[in-house]
Amino acid sequence: MATIKKEECSCPRRQKPKCAHKPYRVSYREPGGRAGKPRQVSFKRLEDAEAFAVKVERDKDLGTYINPKAGQQTFEVIWRGWVEAGTLEESSKRNYQSVYDNHYGPFFGTKPVGSITPANIHEWEADQKARGYKESGISGRMNVLSSVFNYAVSAEIIGRNPCKKANPRRRAGQQYIPVSDADIPTMEEVLGIIAEAPKLIRAGFWAMAGCGTRPGESLALADASVDWERQILTVDHQVSAYGCQEISGYRRGVKRGTKHRAFGEARITPVPESLAEIFGDHIDAFGTWGDRGWFFESPRLNDRHPSYDWFLDQFKDAAKAAGTPHYTPKSFRHFFVSEAIHAQIPLFEIAAWVGHRTTRTTELVYGHLVRRAMIRGARTVHNRLGLNLEPFKGLIVPPSLTSSGEEGEGWDDGV
């Protein structure tokens, strides 16, 4: 049991309330009985010492005890541990370092990780909004921040994740923002945006709408990526704003690997026949470059990929010119998934095609479409089985549960 002992200091009695000494010392053992390491923590006030003594014994009983000194490590130290604990490539680590420097370091870097509270998380969110960042971007960075604190909890450095209390509606498995019908363009709207796009980059827009690729993956289309005979696209490269020295020799450029895939892993997605024709027309009109036969080349620099930001700007301008400025490149992926769900393609196939981590992600983001597909499925089965049952009435007779007859012998009348 934790014990409290008061040790008088040599300060004059009138100065004791303001002196720096902490006379109330709590002594206890870490979990493990006599084998547990003895600890001592000092407090200025008796009520604080009593509260700590009760808490430490309760945590030991519940198996949730955390060494208080572990939480004194700074957020920066925990961040580095989180980055190194994963299987990230060097380029991804550099990307994360840039995100840390811009968004987390200035606010949390020097704070002891155990001292960060839900109120601090709210302050960070308010600071992000004040700096003009969009809600979707803040939400994504909150997910990363929560992952760092989850790592600290798993490593028994802290006892709770402050992000969860900061937003109690953000339950596990619900970090993804569901799409609505307003987020999904119609076929006419897709065609309208593509018609306004520069011919040099249209094939990339088509890839997002027809193959479900992300913007960076679309920019990395290459002749070597397409199996023209089987009409399959292998997605294993992306153009990024960070960490591309390995291939392009520049910080911005192309790199191997895609989101949720380890280095060297690839995913495949079908190429509609009409899209294969569009890709072929693009090659005939603009040619390819580089060892892989890249589709897109920077309009300003030879043998360089267009920048990721340039691609986004072209989409933004085309959407505005088409009268649908609210759509983003992600809207074209929404279109692709929506059409696949409407065609009743299995979710595990769709998730694999678009590069979702699991089918759970597809369900969370496109839940309302999945529910509609289930309704259509139920209606289809009803149409097959439930329309004309008249000829079959009376053919299925339930067994008798009475006590009369040989088969019913032994049954209770009240059953």
Task: For the chain, give the number of residues.
Answer: 415
Same domain, 224 and 358: yes
Q: What residues make up the domain containing 228?
A: 182-367
Residue 216 within any structural domain of the chain = yes
Residue 322 within any structural domain of the chain = yes
CA distances from residue 26 to 9, 33, 41, 110 in whole angstroms, order as listed: 16, 17, 5, 28
Same domain, 256 and 342: yes
pLDDT at 410 over 80: no
Distance CA 194, CA 331 (A): 13
- What is the DSSP track for 164-225? HHH-TT--TT--SPPP-GGGS--HHHHHHHHHHS-TTTHHHHHHHHHH---HHHHHT-BGGG
Same domain, 34 and 78: no
pTM of the model: 0.56
Same domain, 157 and 94: yes
Q: What is the pLDDT of residues 151-162, one digit of tens each?
A: 888 777 887 788
Q: What is the pLDDT of residues 325-378, one digit of tens each?
A: 999 999 999 999 999 988 888 889 999 999 888 888 888 888 777 766 666 666
Q: Output helix, strand, coil percentages for the chain, rounded to the nearest 5.
A: 50, 10, 40
Q: What is the pLDDT of residues 309-321, one digit of tens each?
A: 899 999 999 999 9
Same domain, 24 and 147: no
**In this structure, what DSSP letter does residue 405 have?**
S
Number of domains in the chain: 3
